[in-house]
Amino acid sequence: MAHIHSDNAVPPRGTREYFLYKRRVRTLGRRGGRLARFREIARHKRLTIEDTVSGALDPVFVSEYRYFVWNVGPVLCVYCNAALDKSTKTRDHLVPRSKGGPNGDNLVPSCACCNRAKADDSLLMFLHRRAS
Q: Which of 20, 28, 36, 80 binds Zn ion (CB under 5 A)?
A: 80
Q: What distance in Å separates the CA atoms of residue 20 and residue 124, rounded to the nearest whole number? A: 51
Closest contact distance (angstroms) between CB of 10 and Zn ion is 46
Q: Which of 65, 68, 79, 126 binds Zn ion (CB under 5 A)?
A: 79
Cα distances from 100 to residues 73, 123, 124, in angstroms, run: 30, 14, 16
Q: Supply the DSSP symbol for 83.
A: B
Largest CA distance in the chain: 68
Q: Which of 114, 118, 123, 126 binds Zn ion (CB under 5 A)?
A: 114
Q: What distance in Å separates the CA atoms of residue 2 and residue 62, rounded to the nearest whole number? A: 34
User: Which range in 30-38, 42-50, 77-85, 95-103 contacts Zn ion by CB under 5 A?
Assistant: 77-85
User: Which range in 5-13, 26-34, 40-48, 108-116 contacts Zn ion by CB under 5 A?
Assistant: 108-116
Residues near Zn ion (CB under 5 A) are 77, 79-80, 82, 111, 114
